[in-house]
Copies of this chain bind each other. A is one copy, B any other.
C-alpha cells in the first residue's frame, strides 16, 4: 500500500531521488564502484560536492561573497559553531526564543558570551511569532529560527537591525523565495527539504568571519571549512550526494518559485479544512502559521482513537504531534505531493461524518 509520509524529519524525499540514490549505492555513474566506496578526493565525488554547492547558490539566488558548506553534526552543532565564529570575546548576542530549537541554540551561545533574549513566545507554548521587540546596538549578531518545526509557526518578515542576522532554516529552506542578502549566516540540517540526515548546509557571508578574537577549534571554524571546500575532513558522502539529487530535482521542477506556489496551495487546502471541520482546531496563531508543519488538535480529545484508526487505514504515517504539543502535525515539505494532502483532508472529512453519527 502506498504510504503518505507526513514525518517531520527525516521525511519524505522525491521518489526519483530515492531511485537514483539506490542505484548509486551499487554502481555509481556506471564506474562499477559504489558511491560509498570511492575516495572523497576522487574526481567523481569532488564533482558531486561542486554541483551541490552551485545548485544551492543558483536555487537561492545567493549574492556574491557568500560561501556554501556541507558539514556534519546537524543543526545542533551549528548552535555552537555560530556562536564560536561570531560571538566576540566578552560579546553579546540577541536571540529570539520561538521554540525548543531556538532555546537549545541560545543555551549553547551562553557558553561563549552574553545572550539577550529579545522576544519569546514561551508564554503560549510557542504558538505565535513575537512581533514586539527591540534589538540593541551592542549585539554581535541576532539569531532566529525561521520555521518552528515543533509548533508550526513561521517568520514571514525578518528583523532589521545593524547587527548580523543568523537564521536556522532547518525546516523551511528551499520552500519559499527570500532575499538572502538580508542574512549573514544561514544553516539547515539536510533532513527536511534537502536530503537525508547526516549533512548540514551552511551559507555564510565571508566578510563576517575571523573577527571575534577567539581561537576556534579546527572542526568548528567556518574559515577552515571554506578554505578546504567542505573537505577539511572526510565529508558525509551519501547525504551530500542525495542532497545534490534533491536540489537537481527542485531545479528541474522550476526552482524555489515553482515549489513555493505548490507549498502555498497545499498549506491553504489543509488549513482551510482544519478551520472548516468542526472536529479540528489549529494550534498556531493564524497569521504565523507555517507552510511546512501544520499543527492541529481535536476539538474533542475523546475521539482520538477513532481518528488514529482512520488515518492509519488510509496509509498515512508520521502525523502524531510532538510530545511537547500533543495533537497532530502534518509536515508538508517540498517533496510532499498534493495528492497525499488530499488523502489527509478526505480522512479528516470522513472522521467528522463518523463522529457526527
Whether a CB of chain B sits under 8 angstroms from the CB of A23 is yes
Contacting residues, chain B, for A193 (C-beta < 8 A): none
Contact (Cβ within 8 A) A10 B38: yes
CB distance from A168 to the nearest CB of B (A): 13
Q: Specify which of A39, A199, A232 lies most central, judged by the most chain B CB atoms within 10 Å of its CB.
A: A39
Closest to A317 in B: B33
Once A23-B22, A25-B22, A77-B72 are accepted as A-B contacts, the answer to whether A10 and B219 lie under 8 Å apart by CB is no
Which listed segment binds B: A11-19, A127-135, A204-212, A347-355? A11-19
Which partner residue on chain B sits nearest A1 by CB separation?
B32
Q: Is A152 an interface position by the 8 A CB rule?
A: no
Scan residues 216-241 of chain A and give those whose CB is less than 8 A from a CB of chain B: 217-220, 232-239
Which residues of the other chain, B, contact A175 by a CB distance below 8 angstroms?
A: none
With A22-B22, A34-B18, A73-B72 as given contacts, are A191 and B234 in contact (CB-CB < 8 Å)? Answer: yes
Q: How many residues in A have their beta carbons less than 8 Å from beta carbons of B?
A: 61
| A236 lies within 8 A of B25 (CB) | no
Bound together, the chains give a CA A13 to CA B34 distance in angstroms of 9
Task: Contact check, A5 vs B219: say whether CB atoms are below 8 A apart.
Answer: no
Q: Are A239 and B242 in contact (CB under 8 A)?
A: no
Instruction: Indicate which residue in B36, B107, B218, B237 contacts A107 across the interface (CB closer than 8 Å).
Output: B218
Instruction: Decide if B198 touches A72 in the complex (CB within 8 Å).
Output: yes
Given contacts A189-B234, A234-B197, contact A37 B5 (CB under 8 A): yes
Q: How far is the CA of A12 from the CA of B39 in the complex (A)?
A: 10
Which residues of the other chain, B, contact A239 by a CB distance below 8 angstroms?
198, 236, 238-239
Cα distance, A290 to B239, chains bound together (Å): 31
A92 on the interface (CB 8 Å rule)? no
The reply on A143 being an interface residue by CB < 8 A is no
**Contact in complex: B36, A26 (CB < 8 Å):** no
CA distance A238 to B75 in the complex (A): 17
Given A38-B7, A189-B234: A217 touches B108 (CB 8 Å cut-off): yes
Query: A93 at interface (Cβ–Cβ under 8 A)?
Result: no
Chain B contacts of A31 at CB under 8 A? 3
Considering only CB atoms, which chain B residue lies closest to A315 in the complex? B32
A-B pairs with beta carbons under 8 Å apart, 9 shown: A10-B37, A11-B37, A13-B37, A33-B317, A77-B233, A79-B218, A104-B218, A197-B237, A198-B238
